[in-house]
Amino acid sequence: MTVTSEQRFGEFVAVRAHAGLDHVAELVLDRPKAMNAVSTDMARSIAAACDALAADRDVRVTVLTSSHERAFCVGADLKERNSFSDADLVRQRPTARAAYTGVLELPMPTIAAVHGFALGGGFELALSCDLIVADPTALVGLPEVSVGVIPGGGGTQLLPRRVGAARAAELIFSARRVPGPEARELGLVDELVAEGEDRAEALALAGRIAANSPVGLRAAKRALRLGHGLDLRAGLEVEDSAWRSVAFSGDRAEGVAAFNEKRKANWPGE
């Protein structure tokens, strides 16, 4: 797939656009020598890239990918942390959190393309996305208790929302690594595709999603995220608020007109 533009955020993160994929951004984890282990510098770059994407109204879908052939992301850079004092770890914490919340709070739909190792913070980056496409080489898990910590990038909250409290407890307490086929059965990933096709399939899915109303996509994401976990009455109020934000938009008017005129919509994005 031809890259039409690339913006670098530090040494280890890039945002790319591709020919033929309008309104889709690829957020690339690009620290191959360390299997995308998230160092302080890399975390800072992920957060900066997410800030830029969140402000870009032309982007309707973001796909999170890896430049490494055998890993999506192996989690926190434990070699870096091995040299940390307690004070260093405290100072790093806001930077690390900003990387994960940056992905989690992107206003447009997000898709993770996962192959190889997606462990600890690496899996948490994927969990922060709305959808996860994986291939059979994927090996996912939250093994933090095996090194004396707990998931700190949202894992204890995001995993039970995917697979339920008991299943999440078993996975986190056991620290076990789950291969791609089982991960699909358990709901840890949403689609399992042919080996080596995770990125291509995720970008293709992003293209299909991006054909829809950008106003509608962002509002639907808000409703899904904010309504999750609420009681039904409260959830319906969240949905109503999101509906009102699009019901009188240019996108709604264009969508209705395009449907009646039997043509492709030309979304104004407002």
Structure tokens, 179: 């291969």
Give, to the nearest 10 degrees, the angle between helix 214-227 and helix 250-260. 120
Q: What is the pLDDT confidence band of residue 160, given thresholds at 50, 70 and 90?
A: very high
Q: What is the pLDDT confidence band of residue 3, given thresholds at 50, 70 and 90?
A: confident
This prediction has a pTM of 0.96
CA distance 197 to 50: 25
């040299």: which residue's tokens? 83
Q: What is the pLDDT of residue 49?
A: 98
CA distance 173 to 60: 37
Q: What is the pLDDT confidence band of residue 2, given thresholds at 50, 70 and 90?
A: confident
Query: How high does pLDDT run on average in the chain?
Result: 97
Model confidence at 1: pLDDT above 80: no
Active-site entry in 124, 134, 138, 180 = 124
* Contact predicate 99/76, CB 8 Å: no
Q: Which whole number is the average pLDDT over 254-263?
A: 96
Active-site entry in 75, 122, 134, 144 = 144
Q: Which whole number is the average pLDDT over 129-149?
A: 97
Active-site entry in 14, 49, 76, 242 = 76
Q: Which whole number is the average pLDDT over 166-183?
A: 98
Q: Which whole number is the average pLDDT over 2-24?
A: 95
Q: Which whole number is the average pLDDT over 234-258?
A: 96
Angle at 106 between CA 218 and CA 10, to 5 degrees: 145
Active-site entry in 120, 121, 141, 207 = 121
* Contact predicate 167/186, CB 8 Å: yes
Give, to the nearest 10 degrees, the angle between helix 165-174 and helix 155-163. 130
What does 25-51 look like in DSSP terms, one character per residue?
EEEEE--GGGTT-B-HHHHHHHHHHHH
What does 247-270 look like in DSSP terms, one character per residue?
HTSHHHHHHHHHHHTTS-------
Question: Distances in Å between the alpha carbon of 204 and those of 4, 61, 62, 199, 220?
Answer: 16, 11, 12, 9, 20
Q: How many residues does the chain have?
A: 270
Model confidence at 92: pLDDT above 90: yes
Q: What is the pLDDT confidence band of residue 110, given thresholds at 50, 70 and 90?
A: very high
Model confidence at 262: pLDDT above 80: yes
- Helix H or strand E segment including 211: none
First to last CA, the chain: 30
CA distance 246 to 256: 12
The reply to whether 76 belongs to the active site is yes
Q: What is the pLDDT confidence band of residue 191, given thresholds at 50, 70 and 90?
A: very high
